[in-house]
Chain A
Amino acid sequence: MILGSINPAVLLAALMVAATPILLAAIGELVVEKSGVLNLGVEGMMIIGAVTGFVIAVNTSSALVGFIGAALGGMVLSLLFALLTQVLMTNHVASGLALTLFGLGLSALIGQGYVGVTPPRTPKLDLGWLSEIPFLGRALFSHDIMVYLTIALVAGVWLFLSHTRAGMILRAVGENHDAAHALGYHVKRVRTLAIMFGGACAGLGGAYLSLIRVPQWTEGMTVGAGWIALALVVFASWRPWRAMAGAYLFGGVVVLQLNLQAAGVRIPVEYLSMSPYLITIMVLAIISSGKARGSLNAPGSLNRPFHASN
């Protein structure tokens, strides 16, 4: 029937592409939260990344340079957040919101001359014979380079957090900042670095939207991807591989929903397109209700202000 017209290999391929921007933002935010900071400005950093990446890519005719610019753009915005929360000791929630509101406005301003422009193409990674494999070749081995870099980033974050001393210190700071301070670790320095990493990742995620997934610049084009990334971190219980699984799951929902739209299912488009948000909310509720599991894994000092008394 309707579902029969959907090619599973194409579906799988599209799913990976749909998941990549959220996964990028989520893996960055995961590191930030592991250090004990909740940055609600992901959406703002993402859209700034989307626009800076787009503008730079168009002007340099290089998508790659665009991605680098997007990472820097997100990072610069995140530094603003670091300044507010780590130096000026402001409320994390309000500062994150400010970042999002500001980012949305600023991106629209930067991108006003770029609506309707086509960005340079991002090179596909040539995987030679791998892409020739029936089914798998189409589904897994014929993507742009960012899809694979993102997977590598997830692996890298996992390796960093669980197998390096620096990662251990980061987790310690997020778990109990008072004890970490007492043992002589620099809580604010660690957190600032984490926030910058989170900003860069969110920027990359945004650029993936504007340079590859859409690929175009439109105002407010992230439509909540940053918020979904935040939800994804909770869903993943702060574990990198689970974040990837969650992102792919989410990508699956998006793609399926799009395919159903295209196949002309007799449900209005609007209801289909709200399904990713509804599913995210439902999953959040289920994850957080299992109190023992989900919340136990949350970093102990998450969203608690830190001010060394001496």
Chain B
Amino acid sequence: MIRLERRKEPSTFWRVANPFLAVILTMLAGGMMFVALGKDPVTAIRLIFFDPIFSAQFGSYSRPQLLIKSAPLILIAVGLAIGFKANIWNIGAEGQYIMGALFGAGVALAFFPLQGWYIFPLMILAGAFGGFLWAMIPAILKTRFNTNEILVSLLLVYVAERILAAMALGLMRNPDQPGFPGSRDLRRYESAHNAELIAGTGLHWGVVAALVAVIFAYVMMTRHMLGFHVRLAGQAPRAARFAGVAPARLVVICLGIAGALAGLAGMFEVSGPGGQVRIEFAVGYGFTAIIVAFLGRLHPIGIVLAGLLLGLTYIGGELAQMMLGLPSASIQVFQGMLLFFLLALDFQTNYRIRLREEVRR
């Protein structure tokens, strides 16, 4: 008979090992999926996970892309992880990301065609504020009306997408090219352009911001009382109240941080790699970041690694699409499987499997 037995202390070994194990299992299951699609699994896995970095042929294009794709994922996931630690489930980062982009682009377009050093910093502030503002809707509804933040934050993604479309087609549309949807290209507006800091590396201000956010989150979670209260509230809400933590304040802080970081990610994207406000601007970083947060064990350093890995799957996915005609959706499946395997494996962290043999008489 198989029995689950709760461990006295969660196993540290499995906590660290499970993400790696999940990646391996995902590769195996993904390989089977590729076989089912009639593709060579070894080639496909190689194209997705190795060639973007190591191949001489594609590397020069792909390597800078790694930072470009991973930075927003890490930036958003770091914020989400803080909330998840406190059992505050903001799953609408995609919406906060869009709003950050719109606020940031809005500032830029308002100043156009003025040039000035102050424009980009203002855009950063506006981007963070836009995401923050959007996250405050679920936060305030939660603290004032006890409304479920999961549903509200998620539903607001659809609202944000509609606002994005309205902006791309209306207010922010490029007046010089009225025939095309979409705003001016911010990459051609020097003061607003989030350009590469070192040519050919993909390193832009968003990457810097992601690094700062990771360090900030690491310090906050390990050295600061606020981080301690976040963990306490997530693990033992009554003990948190005993310690003097005000739950409503924590909701506002956690959602606010996550919103601001997602907003920043959106702003850096729209002013750099994305370039303009378009209907297709949002590609699901906000949702993939949830997987990044979990795969990174809600730990800032883990999130960096997980963000790089999932960034890689985006690039590798494009590569495999180009070379093998692999459907783009298969990467999404891949990412979903990763989360499944991770969750499934995690029971080992808290439970021990006991095989109990029936006593023979």
Contacts and interface: CB of A to CB of B under 8 A. Distances in A.
Given A270-B163, A274-B158, A291-B146, A105 B336 contact: yes
A289 B166 contact: no
Dominant secondary structure of chain A at its interface with chain B: helix
Interface in B115-171: 137, 141, 144-148, 150-152, 154-159, 162-163, 165-166, 169-170
A94 interface: yes
Interface string B290-302: 1100100000000
B344 A101 contact: no
A274 B162 contact: yes
23 contacts: A84-B340, A84-B343, A88-B346, A90-B343, A90-B344, A90-B346, A90-B347, A93-B89, A98-B336, A101-B339, A104-B332, A105-B331, A106-B336, A109-B332, A224-B157, A270-B169, A273-B162, A274-B163, A277-B155, A281-B147, A284-B147, A284-B152, A285-B141
A272 B222 CA distance: 46
B333 interface: yes
Contact of A227 (B137, B151, B162, B340): B151
A288 B145 contact: yes
Interface residues of A, number: 48
B347 A94 contact: no
Nearest to A309: B6
Contacts of B303: none
Given A98-B340, A223-B158, A109 B147 contact: no
Contacts of A1: none
A19 B324 CA distance: 41
Given A285-B147, A289-B145, 10 more contacts: A40-B150, A83-B344, A88-B347, A101-B291, A102-B340, A106-B333, A109-B333, A274-B163, A280-B155, A289-B146
B21 interface: no
A18 B152 CA distance: 22
B61 interface: no
Nearest to A96: B150
Interface in B80-125: 89, 91
B350 interface: yes
B330 interface: yes
A67 to B, nearest CB: 24
A101 B162 contact: no
A95 B158 CA distance: 22
Contacts of B290: 97, 101
